Amino acid sequence: MLEETGIVTKVDGNMAMVLVQKKSACDGCSVEGACKATPEGMEIEALNAVHAKVGQRVKILMTPGEYLKGTIIVYGVPLIVFIAGAIFGKNIGEKYFTDMNSDIIAAITGFVSLFLSLAAARIWSRKMESKAEYKPVIEEIIE
CATH number of 2-63+132-141: 2.40.50.140
Residue 32: what pLDDT? 47
pTM for the whole structure = 0.60
Determine the average pLDDT of the residues in 57-86. 87
Question: Residue 48 contacts by C-beta under 8 Å, 6 or more apart in sequence?
Answer: 8, 11, 13, 14, 15, 16, 138
Kindly indicate the confidence band of residue 46, based on its pLDDT and cuts at 50, 70 and 90. confident
Residue 29: what pLDDT? 53
Kindly indicate the confidence band of residue 35, based on its pLDDT and cuts at 50, 70 and 90. low
Looking at per-residue pLDDT, the higher value among 140 and 90 belongs to: 90
Residue 14: what pLDDT? 87
pLDDT at 59 over 80: yes
- What is the b/e burial string over 105-133, where b = at least 16 CB atoms within 10 angstroms of the residue's CB? bbbebbeebbeebbeebeeebeebeeeee
Residues of the chain within CATH 2.40.50.140 domain(s) are: 2-63+132-141
Looking at per-residue pLDDT, the higher value among 42 and 109 belongs to: 109
